[in-house]
Amino acid sequence: MLGVNEYRVVVMRLIIALIAMAGALWPPPATAESVAFDAFCHAVTGTATPDSALPRLTFACRGAPSAYQQGSLWLRTDLRDLSVDRTDVALMVRQSRFDRLAVAFTYADGHVVWQQVASGAFGAHWRVGGQIAFEAPVRDASLVAATMRLDRVASHNLLRIRIITGAESATQSAILAALTGAALMLLLVGVVYNMSLAIAVRRQFLLWHGLWAACVLTWGTLWSQLELIVLPGLAGTTAARICTFLACAAITAATVSAVTSIERSLLPRWATTATLALGIAIGVLGIPTAIVRGAAIDGLGQMLDLLVLADLAAVALLLGWAWRRGCTVARDVALAWSVPMAALGFIQIVDVGGALWGGGSQMLVLFAAALQTMWLAIAITRRIALLRVERDRARAAEKRASALAGRDPLTNLYNRRGFIARTTPLLGAERPAEVPVALLLIDVDRFKSVNDAYGHEAGDIVLCNIARRLQRWESVSCAVARLGGEEFALAITGIDGFALVRFADSVRQELGAIDHGAVIGERPVTVSVGVTQARDPCSFQQLYRHADAALYAAKQGGRDRVVVRDIAIAGKASPVPAEPPSTNARIDPARDDLPSRVSRIT
């Protein structure tokens, strides 16, 4: 099922397609005349016949000319039969494949003015938008007829002729130039974007889509004749042949792009193979269609029209099939392709003629291609943005999960895993030389009796009270953790000797002074602390073994006390005594000013 926003997108694209098609069929101004081939009388001669033979030619006004591809096709129309202003006439011809095109304007006094272009030499007659303009000189006598002579023209069916005023010719050419330039600029942006995106995200269909946009961009540049600004020799047959091949190659690339955008598992293999075969067949058939000059070009053109319609239908079915099976990429591609597919199908069925300021079906396709390229680029950008948001959310969730994995759920202090990760940099070689690091293991005295007497909920509150007090020492140089049960740990750098002993005893006293009266009344809660330190790099396990031995000595010595175990780790830890220390741990004579609840063992 489509969501509301997707329905809006579909409707918007269909409206745009209908507007574009309506513009193609919109009637020209009253002063313009799109001349059908039936309005011309025709004659066929050899190419050696001089232009001056025009008055002696016999023209046939019925039927279709034949056998003219290797000779000259003459087309004559009586301007007095057309609703045009004969004082200001411009003959606009959409270029086809010919060697030479000469236009004769015949006036009422019998005077004839000739203008001509040749393949590779259009001079000043070419206009942006694939047209050639011939403007009749203004004379006292009125125009009565216009005659075109085409030498070695490929097919009269490819000709599109309009007769308008000179002023309209200038205005329409300017409009067509602006619109063509805008469409080509959008296509250029699409080519660069899709190619760079294909390289960045390594998606095959984006590469094919970029190739399609590049073919359309090159085709549009050649068709519009903009390349004649720098390469005038491409005018005429050469550009027309290249355009034919590029148009077929573009359809092939578009077909491959659409098919490769869908996961192979979503579609049967025969369907994708058949669709790809249709697209490739169009590209292959484009080669002889671009080369041939004879009457066979009409038959090849009809074959291409049928293949294009079949290809459009196959691609539409594949995209619709994948869309229904939940493929979001197929949905984006289908919505983006809806307008150019509709335009291509439309021009295969309907002869647009000289609509869209003379640009005709080519201009319609160029507009649709530019719109599709930008629309798909926006859709892909939106999709990538959503993927990045999902990726960032996943990374944030992973980071939170990792943080939670290193935290004790009851007290929110580091657990053993988090504490080891936090203290490893403090213990390793990256710690500045000779900076001491100390580990304090803190155990709540007789905590089991608290749980037994007041319940585990009261015991948890006692542990949380102790954790909150320990958290006050948390800093860059000090890490605090709950290692499990009633055992806590504190790692600190930068202090040693007497200062460390004083610090450890202050921790003991402050934890023992916490008020737990709300849950256990006046009962005191004390802690025992085992302390050890090192100056050289060491592992957490090494430091922990010595601190645990000191904590054991504190417990054995009567609890509510601090026991310091001196070690000197220099590559190897000092050996741990096989037997636990005596309960009567002695006071270091050098530290006889220490509190009575502080002992030092070695």
Catalytic residue, chosen from 6, 486, 487, 510, is: 486
Rounded Cα distance between 148 and 332, Å, is: 48
What 3-state class would DSSP assign to 274? helix
For residue 102, what are the β-bridge partners? Answer: 116, 149
For residue 122, what are the β-bridge partners? Answer: none
Rg (CA), the chain: 44
As a three-state string, the secondary structure of 32-85 is CEEECHHHCEEEEECCCCCHHHHHHCCCECCCCCCCCCCCEEEEEEEHHHCCCC
What 3-state class would DSSP assign to 149? strand
Residue 65: Cβ within 10 Å count: 19
Q: Is 486 a catalytic residue?
A: yes
Rounded Cα distance between 420 and 430, Å, is: 15
What would the two tokens of residue 560 be? 């509510």
Rounded Cα distance between 388 and 395, Å, is: 10
What would the two tokens of residue 39 be? 């309005």
Residue 322, amino acid: A
**DSSP codes, 296-343:** HHHHHHHHHHHHHHHHHHHHHHHHHHHHHTT-HHHHHHHHHHHHHHHH
Q: Which of 445, 467, 411 lies closest to 523, judged by CA? A: 445
Rounded Cα distance between 319 and 325, Å, is: 10
Residues identified as active-site: 486
